[in-house]
Structure 1
Amino acid sequence: MKLLAIDCAANLCAACVYDAGAGEELGREVRDLGKGHAEHLMAVIETAMQIGGIGYPDLGAAAVSIGPGSFTGLRVGVSTARGLALALKIPAIGVTTLEALAAEGANAFPGRSVLAALDAGREEIHAALYNEELVETYGPSVATLPGAAAMAIGAEAVLVGTAAPRIAEAAGRPFDIGPVAATADIATYARLAAGKGPGEKPKPLYLRGADAKPQAGFILPRQDRGNDS
């Protein structure tokens, strides 16, 4: 089965084509955008598929990173994956950024528990803990820095994700640390999705609401039209 993987969870706008049967990546395109995923994603997908030498009819599944991550980026990636799945009559498969990062940490330090943790602002951390077999034992959830540090100590975990250095510092002891990025390599998402197979339709994993909210000072007061005569 040929699988298309998409990631818009962080700054990167990434896509790759993966041959699940051969366990081989066929083509990829990765752009470090910061913003503007919606404008670039289809071109990124087209480039990855051209490099891989396949067309849309060759795809057997669409995989996508579902977060936690950028509020807008997640919506762009998930809606695109689900739209392709609907049009091509193939399954869409979601993979969280935390499990993808944890898989990379487990690859670097086999046979160890892994705490995947991302800085979320407001002194909060988005975290998930995985055991030696990469089975999720906690989260994904919002945690405090002291709480994440205590969890890491208790599990003697490898740390991955953007919050890993802060957790190690808060714990006051050394840890083995894997990737400290905001998202995993695009091929990691493809491999994990190929192992999952079809399931529920992916949807963005938001552990808290969007930061952008209407400002009261810019809300116009309602006018009472009943006195206009």
Structure 2
Amino acid sequence: MKLLAIDCAATLCAACVYDAAAGQELGRSVLDLGKGHAEHLMAVIDAALKESRAGYADLGAVAVSIGPGSFTGLRVGVSAARGLALALKIPAIGVTTLEALAAQAATTFPGRTVLAVLDAGREEIHAALYDELLGLTYGPAVTSLSEAVAMATDTSAALAGTAAARIATTARRAFDIGPEAATADIAVYARLAATKGAGEKPKPLYLRGADAKPQAGFILSRQNT
């Protein structure tokens, strides 16, 4: 089965085509945009398909990063994945950024517990802890820096994600550290999705609400008629 994976969780707009049976990436396209995923995603997908010499009709599933990550980017990626899945009558499979980061770290530190941690602002950290077989044992959840440091220290975990170096510095000890990015390599999403199979339709994983909220002074009271 050929699987299309897409990721808009952070600054990257990425897609790859993956042969699940062979365990091999066939083609990819990655742009570091910062913003503007909606304007570029379909072109990125087309470029990955072209490099893989595959078409939409050849796809058996669509994988997508579901976060935590950019509020807007996640909506773009998940909407595209679900739309393609509906049009092609194939499953859409969600993969969290935290499990993808942990899986990428596990290739460097096999057989280790991995704590995936992302800076979330407001002195908060998005965290998830995975055991030696990448089974989820905690999270995904919002934690404080001190809680994340305690978790890393107590479990002697390898670290991955944008908050990894900060945790090591705060703990004043050395940790094995994998990728320190906000998202994993696109092929990792494809590989994980190929092992998951079809499930519930993916939806963005928001561990807290959006920053933008209506101002209370502009909310009109309901009028009874």
Compare 89-98 and 167-176 and name the one that shifted more.
Answer: 167-176
Matching of residue 123 in structure 1 with residue 100 in structure 2 = no
Whole-angstrom distance in 1 between the partners of 2:77 and 2:108? 27
* CA offset digits 1:172-228 (Å, max 9, x no partner): 2111111100000000000000011111110000000011223457x4879x9xxxx
**Alignment match, 1:139:** 139
Identity, % of aligned pairs? 77
- Give runs of aligned pairs for residues 126-205 of structure 1, distance below 5 A: 126-205=126-205
Distance change in 2, residues 1:41/1:151 (3 Å): same
Local SS of the residue matching 1:120: strand
The 2-side partners of 1:80 and 1:221 are apart by: 35
Cα-to-partner distance string for 1:104-138 (whole Å, 9 max, x where unaligned) = 11111111100000000000000000011110000
2: CA distance between counterparts of 1:221 and 1:168?
48
Q: Deviations over 1:43-85 (max 9, x none)?
A: 0001100111011110000000000000000000001000000
Q: Is 1:11 the equivalent of 2:11?
A: yes
Distance 1:146 1:135 in 2: 23
RMSD: 1.3
Report the counterpart of residue 114 of structure 1 in structure 2: 114
**Residues 60-79 of structure 1: pairs in structure 2 closer than 5 A:** 60-79=60-79
Q: CA deviation at 1:170?
A: 1.5
Structure 1, residues 20-59: CA drift from partner, whole Å, max 9, x if none? Answer: 0111111100000000000000000011001110111100
Mean CA deviation greater in 131-140 or 166-175: 166-175
The 1:214/1:220 distance shift into structure 2, 3 A limit, reads closer
- What CA distance in whole angstroms lies between the structure 2 residues aligned with 1:108 and 1:77? 28
Equivalent residue, structure 2, for 1:104: 104
Looking at structure 2, the residues matched to 95 and 57 of structure 1 have their Cα atoms a distance apart, in angstroms, of 23
Q: Kindly state the Cα deviation for residue 89 of structure 1 after the two structures are TM-superposed.
A: 0.4
Aligned to 1:41: 41
> 1:131-190, CA deviations, whole angstroms, 9 ceiling, x for partnerless residues?
111100000000000000000011100010000011111112111111100000000000
Structure 2 unmatched ranges of 5 or more: none
Give the drift of 1:92. Answer: 0.3
Give the SS at the match of 1:22.
Answer: coil
2:181 alignment partner, SS class: coil
Which residue pairs with 1:95 in the alignment? Answer: 95
Task: Give the number of equivalent residue pairs.
Answer: 222
Measure, in 1, the Cα distance between the counterparts of 2:118 and 2:131: 18
CA distance in 1, matches of 2:91, 2:185: 22
Gaps of at least 5 residues in structure 1 are 225-229
The structure that has the greater radius of gyration is 1
Find the aligned partners of 1:15 and 1:132 in 2 and give their Cα distance: 28
